[in-house]
């Protein structure tokens, strides 16, 4: 009789509402209730439908074969389940332990963690939120020996993915040891890099990582003039070369574009350029007034009208030019949604911050913040990953006011101005 098993790499974590499933191959999340979690719990090892029904009865959950079959078929359609080829499973399964705090309005752990492995960079980009440059000291940067136990704690906690950024992560001396350590633990890995020295040797090392599913590079305009304005003379041609090298080696690339008043008019040309290069995803990122941008580029932030129009342009890029956003909100939009009066997806985006629902960031010395904007403003430093307990940080009383602003189904972010009001009241 046919056995069902969790697909390779699928990660499942118990939550207050039931469970959260993460598929690293599609970067998708699925939410299910407590009954679904009980079923999935018995699929840590392959089982037939009959075996599942018997185990569920023993657990006090009555479910007829037809209902179970519908649920299993739904999971197979989403590729969470596959027909078992062996009695082994390679998935991550995290349960809430006795004594753990069980949240009722936020996740038991972040879904992902952004790792700033260094703030050193060979460039001095005008908008950089962490103020990276060639002059930044690296003496307090954590080494592989210090990162490894942090990664182990994050994985045991149930964190699904790690985003490696900087500075420029590929300039860190032991970066491949660090990436390799995270890869061996089964994290879904993402690398953000604009390293001008990228070559085939580096590409070949990245290819050895089994779980590197996402690489993001920057392209901030369709011409040298607009791109090099932010990142320095000669950067445009190096970015094009870098994108081609990644794509020629089989990587699916996301291009992130910082949009401001100087390049706003050529967003469509930028999308056409990316399409021609074979870029799979394009992420439009309105410039945010934080870090170095707060000091040097505030006058280039988009107006509300420009932000509104950018939403319409992005929809056109996805639907007509045919390059994906990689984001389910944008991919699921239809023309009726765009025509609604309240369609304004980029509203307040440049100044929103995390409301402590699913994000965590760790900087190069181990300090923990909710996101990079908060780090740049020195808001809500939670502690240090070396010296403090990660779970205690996440469940800190000081995050309660933030979390009270979140309601399920809405954005898990808060406007900076609203955050300041919370702090001062």
Strands 161-165 and 352-354: unpaired
- pTM (two decimals): 0.93
Cβ neighbours, 10 Å, residue 342: 6
134 contacts: CB under 8 Å, gap ≥ 6: 120, 121, 122, 123, 124
Write out the chain's pLDDT in tens, 425 residues. 688 888 888 899 999 889 999 998 888 899 999 889 988 888 888 888 888 888 888 888 777 788 888 999 999 999 999 887 655 555 677 776 656 777 878 899 999 999 999 999 999 999 999 999 999 999 999 999 999 999 999 999 999 999 999 999 999 999 999 999 999 999 999 999 999 999 999 999 999 999 999 999 999 999 999 999 999 999 999 999 999 999 999 999 999 999 999 999 999 999 999 999 999 999 999 999 999 999 989 999 999 999 999 999 999 999 999 999 998 899 999 999 999 989 999 999 999 999 999 999 999 999 999 999 999 998 989 999 999 999 999 999 989 989 988 877 677 899 999 888 887 66
Q: Give the pairing of strands 18-23 and 28-32.
A: antiparallel
C-alpha distances in angstroms, 184 versus 175, 178, 188, 278, 284?
Answer: 14, 10, 10, 30, 32
Distance CA 138, CA 196 (A): 20
d(CA 193, CA 395): 32
Tell me the β-bridge partners of 120.
Answer: 133
Q: The tokens of 377 are what?
A: 């403003």
192-223 CB burial, b ≥16 within 10 A, e <16? bbbbbebeeebeeebeebebbbbbbbbbbbbe
Q: What is the pLDDT of residue 210?
A: 94
Helix axes 34-41, 65-77, angle to 10 degrees: 80
Continuous segment of H or E residues that includes residue 357:
none
What pLDDT is recorded for position 425?
A: 60
Burial 290-321 (b: 16+ CB within 10 A, else e): bbbbbeebeebbbeeebbbebbebbbebbeee
CB atoms within 10 A of CB 398: 11
Nearest C-alpha neighbor of 157 from the set 14, 10, 18: 14
Closest C-alpha to 125, from 288, 310, 276, 3: 288
For residue 91, the model assigns a pLDDT of 62
């Amino acid at each position: 009789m046919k056995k069902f098993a969790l697909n390779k790499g699928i990660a499942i974590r118990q939550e207050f509402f039931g469970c959260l499933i993460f598929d690293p191959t599609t970067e998708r999340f699925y939410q299910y209730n407590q009954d679904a979690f009980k079923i999935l719990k018995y699929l840590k090892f392959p089982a037939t439908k009959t075996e599942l029904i018997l185990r569920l009865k023993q657990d006090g959950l009555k479910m007829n074969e037809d209902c179970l079959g519908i649920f299993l078929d739904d999971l197979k359609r989403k590729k969470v389940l596959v027909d078992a080829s062996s009695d082994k499973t390679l998935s991550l399964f995290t349960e809430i332990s006795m004594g753990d705090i069980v949240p009722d309005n936020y996740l038991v752990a972040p879904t992902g963690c952004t790792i700033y492995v260094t703030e050193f960079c060979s460039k001095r980009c005008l908008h950089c939120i962490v103020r990276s440059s060639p002059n930044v000291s690296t003496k307090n940067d954590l080494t592989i020996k210090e990162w490894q136990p942090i990664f182990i704690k994050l994985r045991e906690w149930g964190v699904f993915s790690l985003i490696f950024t900087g500075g420029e992560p590929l300039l860190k001396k032991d970066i491949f040891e660090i990436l390799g350590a995270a890869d061996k633990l089964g994290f879904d890995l993402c690398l953000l890099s604009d390293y001008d020295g990228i070559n085939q040797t580096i590409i070949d090392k990245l290819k050895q990582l089994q779980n590197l599913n996402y690489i993001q590079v920057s392209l901030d305009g369709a011409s040298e003039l607009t791109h090099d304005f932010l990142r320095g003379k000669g950067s445009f041609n190096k970015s094009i070369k870098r994108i081609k090298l990644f794509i020629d080696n089989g990587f699916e690339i996301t291009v992130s574009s910082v949009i401001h008043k100087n390049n706003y008019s050529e967003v469509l040309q930028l999308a056409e350029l990316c399409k021609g290069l074979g870029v799979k995803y394009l992420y439009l990122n309105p410039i945010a007034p934080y870090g170095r941008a707060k000091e040097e580029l505030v006058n280039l932030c988009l107006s509300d009208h420009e932000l509104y129009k950018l939403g319409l342009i992005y929809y056109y890029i996805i639907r007509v030019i045919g390059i994906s956003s990689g984001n389910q909100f944008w991919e699921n939009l239809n023309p009726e949604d765009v025509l609604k009066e309240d369609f304004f997806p980029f509203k307040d985006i440049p100044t929103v911050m995390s409301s402590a629902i699913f994000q965590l960031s760790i900087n190069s010395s181990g300090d923990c913040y909710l996101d990079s904007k908060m780090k740049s403003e020195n808001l809500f430093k939670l502690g240090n990953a070396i010296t403090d307990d990660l779970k205690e940080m996440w469940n800190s009383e000081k995050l309660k006011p933030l979390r009270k602003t979140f309601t399920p189904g809405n954005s898990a972010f808060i406007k900076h101005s609203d955050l300041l009001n919370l702090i001062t009241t």
